């Protein structure tokens, strides 16, 4: 194309056509040319000298229109451990360069992801309707364990979240119990499919929403801050959020048993609290929370009693805050909401009637759980008698840091 510019008009047009024809025949770029792209490639992405030369030529090219440079690379090129591990080394911690073995931290409580996966594998032994779908994240979602146990019931659709959701919807129409395990931030890509293919049809697709809340080193791009808000506004969906790994065990069992419509189960990155876990989870009543700690009698509404209603893992910090308040003469009620939708209206009304202040806490953005609670209080007239204070993630993005530091910055720790 660059040389053709130096030719007379007629020869320039002929040279351009010959160039396009040659590139289409030699490289298979005809499809892109027909779409109006100036196609170059495929190019070896590991040959830096060649790649820089091509990029400079494309930078200096004039009047070629939109350019599509087709570069081919190989994952982990030149490093055998990475080449041979298709789903690993996406993000790495310290590792042995010779062996490729990644350094493991000290053993501790199981991760939320592993608790979910273990219960799913256990129940799948006696329920062949359970099937799982992931979008190129078998290890990250824990479904690699399910795939090993039940390879015929595990489906990795690649980086295609939209297809994963519609595929799960199709399975649900045939009486299966599909679990579509996707990170919270990645589920955003499939919002149209969630809405039209699942929720509008009231299909019992179970969304296992991993990495909900702030995610530490993965930063703002991967933060699962918005799923409560963007799913909670959809009619008929059920949303659960465990406060501990034990609650997640029970909620996984609940999700398996729930066939009445779409369901989202959101849980965080990281490990649990180290609680003892039974062999099997128990099915919870849909839309019912629980009182974790009752307010002391001397801290009733006439004395300015406080109630804290927590959704998800912030419950541990809510209890710490309650201890701090107790040291100052206040002993608040602390409740675990369990469900963002449907909210436990009886619990919400009880807390509003029996306390002067009601505080909600969630690992989510504005427009989520607190909004659902406040709407119900407003409709029942209870918002006029209780001081309502929502605690959500701030209305901005939070940069990379440890999860603890991020929640401290967000004002959601004790």
Kindly state whether residue 8 falls inside one of the protein's structural domains. no
Report, as an integer, the average pLDDT of 144-166.
Answer: 98
Nearest to 330 by CA among 310, 353, 357, 351: 357
Percent of the chain predicted with pLDDT > 90:
78
End-to-end Cα, the chain, rounded Å: 64
Q: Say if residue 188 is in the same domain as residue 311.
A: no
CB 410 within 8 A of CB 398: yes
Q: Say if residue 261 is in the same domain as residue 298.
A: no
Q: Say if residue 128 is in the same domain as residue 202.
A: yes
Q: What angle do CA 24, 30, 33 make, to 5 degrees?
A: 105
Q: pLDDT class for 122, splitting at 50, 70, 90?
A: very high
pLDDT in tens, 312-335: 999 999 999 999 999 988 899 999
Higher pLDDT, 15 or 52: 52
Residue 120 has pLDDT above 90, yes or no: yes
88 backbone dihedrals φ, ψ, rounded to 5°: -120, 175
- Considering the entire predicted model, what is its pTM? 0.85
Higher pLDDT, 94 or 155: 155
Q: How many residues does the chain have?
A: 414
Q: Say if residue 251 is in the same domain as residue 295.
A: no
Q: Is 68 exposed, middle or buried (0-12, 13-18, 19+ CB in 10 A)?
A: middle
Calculate the average pLDDT of the chain. 91
CB 393 within 8 A of CB 368: no
Kindly state whether residue 375 falls inside one of the protein's structural domains. yes
Report, as an integer, the average pLDDT of 246-269.
Answer: 98
Residue 394 has pLDDT above 80, yes or no: yes
The sign of the CA dihedral 397, 403, 405, 407 is positive
Q: pLDDT class for 100, splitting at 50, 70, 90?
A: confident
Q: Which residues lie below 8 Å from residue 150, measured CB to CB, with a gap of 6+?
A: 121, 124
Q: Which residues lie below 8 Å from residue 308, measured CB to CB, with a gap of 6+?
A: 318, 321, 322, 332, 333, 334, 335, 359, 360, 361
> What distance in Å separates the CA atoms of residue 310 and residue 291, rounded to the nearest whole number?
10
CB 38 within 8 A of CB 68: yes
Active site residues: 75, 161, 189
pLDDT in tens, 338-386: 999 999 999 999 999 999 999 999 999 999 999 999 999 999 999 999 9
Indicate the number of domains in the chain. Answer: 2
Q: Say if residue 168 is in the same domain as residue 205.
A: yes
Kindly state whether residue 104 falls inside one of the protein's structural domains. no
> What distance in Å separates the CA atoms of residue 336 and residue 293, rounded to the nearest whole number?
9
Q: Say if residue 258 is in the same domain as residue 151.
A: yes
Q: Which residues lie below 8 Å from residue 249, measured CB to CB, with a gap of 6+?
A: 115, 119, 277, 278, 281
The sign of the CA dihedral 141, 289, 234, 124 is positive
CB 275 within 8 A of CB 245: yes
pLDDT for the residue 3: 47
Choosing from 266, 299, 328, the residue where a domain stops is: 266
pLDDT for the residue 269: 97
CATH code: domain of residue 384 = 3.40.50.920
pLDDT in tens, 189-248: 999 999 999 999 999 999 999 999 999 999 999 999 999 999 999 999 999 999 999 999
**Helical axes 112-124 vs 245-257, angle rounded to 10°:** 40
pLDDT in tens, 60-77: 998 889 999 999 999 888
In the beta sheet, which residues pair with residue 357? Answer: 306, 387
Report, as an integer, the average pLDDT of 383-397.
Answer: 97
Residue 131 has pLDDT above 50, yes or no: yes
> What distance in Å separates the CA atoms of residue 80 and residue 34, rounded to the nearest whole number?
39
CA atoms within 13 A on the CB side of 143: 27
Q: Say if residue 138 is in the same domain as residue 257.
A: yes
Residue 2 has pLDDT above 90, yes or no: no
Kindly state whether residue 160 falls inside one of the protein's structural domains. yes
Q: Which residue range forms the structural domain that includes residue 331?
A: 290-410
pLDDT in tens, 11-36: 555 555 555 555 554 556 678 888 99
Q: Say if residue 231 is in the same domain as residue 331.
A: no
Ramachandran category for residue 322: left, alpha or beta (phi over 0 → left; psi -120 to 50 → alpha): alpha
> What distance in Å separates the CA atoms of residue 183 and residue 268, rounded to the nearest whole number?
10
Q: Which residues lie below 8 Å from residue 25, measured CB to CB, with a gap of 6+?
A: none
265 backbone dihedrals φ, ψ, rounded to 5°: -120, 105
Q: Say if residue 302 is in the same domain as residue 401.
A: yes
Q: What is the DSSP string of 214-227?
A: --GGGTGGG-B-SH
Kindly state whether residue 313 falls inside one of the protein's structural domains. yes
Neighbours of 179 (CB within 10 A): 28
pLDDT for the residue 185: 98
């Amino acid at each position: 194309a660059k040389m053709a510019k130096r030719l007379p008009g007629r020869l320039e047009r002929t040279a351009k056509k010959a160039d396009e024809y040659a590139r289409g025949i030699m490289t298979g770029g005809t499809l892109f040319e027909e779409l109006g792209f100036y196609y170059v490639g495929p190019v070896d992405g590991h040959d830096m000298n060649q790649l820089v030369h091509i990029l400079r030529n494309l930078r200096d090219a004039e009047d070629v229109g939109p350019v599509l440079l087709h570069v081919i690379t190989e994952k982990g090129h030149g490093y055998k451990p990475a080449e041979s591990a298709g789903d690993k080394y996406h993000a790495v911690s310290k590792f042995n360069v010779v062996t490729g073995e990644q350094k493991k931290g000290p053993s501790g409580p199981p991760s939320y992801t592993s608790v979910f996966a273990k219960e799913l594998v256990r129940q799948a032994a006696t329920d062949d309707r359970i099937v799982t779908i992931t979008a190129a994240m078998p290890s990250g979602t824990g479904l690699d364990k399910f795939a090993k146990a039940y390879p015929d019931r595990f489906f990795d659709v690649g980086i295609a979240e939209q297809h994963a959701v519609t595929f799960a919807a199709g399975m649900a129409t045939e009486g299966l119990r599909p679990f579509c395990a996707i990170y919270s931030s990645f589920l955003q890509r499939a919002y149209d499919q969630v809405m039209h293919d699942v929720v509008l049809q009231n299909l019992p697709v179970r969304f296992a929403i991993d990495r909900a809340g702030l995610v530490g080193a993965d930063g703002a791009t991967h933060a699962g801050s918005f799923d409560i808000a963007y799913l909670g506004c959809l009619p008929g969906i059920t949303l659960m959020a465990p406060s501990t790994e034990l609650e997640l065990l029970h909620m996984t069992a609940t999700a398996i048993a729930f066939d009445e419509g779409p369901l989202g189960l959101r849980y965080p990155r990281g490990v649990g609290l180290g609680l003892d876990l039974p062999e099997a989870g128990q099915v919870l009543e849909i839309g019912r929370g629980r009182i974790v700690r009752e307010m002391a009698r001397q801290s009733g509404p006439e004395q300015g009693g406080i109630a804290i209603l927590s959704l998800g893992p912030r419950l541990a910090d809510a209890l710490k805050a309650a201890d701090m308040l107790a040291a100052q003469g206040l002993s608040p009620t602390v409740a675990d909401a369990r469900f963002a939708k449907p909210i436990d209206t009886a619990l919400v009304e009880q807390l509003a009637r029996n306390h002067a202040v009601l505080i909600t806490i969630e690992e989510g953005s504005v427009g989520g759980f607190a909004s659902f609670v406040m709407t119900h209080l407003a409709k029942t007239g209870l918002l006029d008698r209780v001081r309502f204070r929502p605690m959500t993630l701030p209305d901005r993005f939070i940069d990379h840091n440890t999860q603890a530091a991020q929640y401290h910055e967000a004002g959601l720790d004790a």
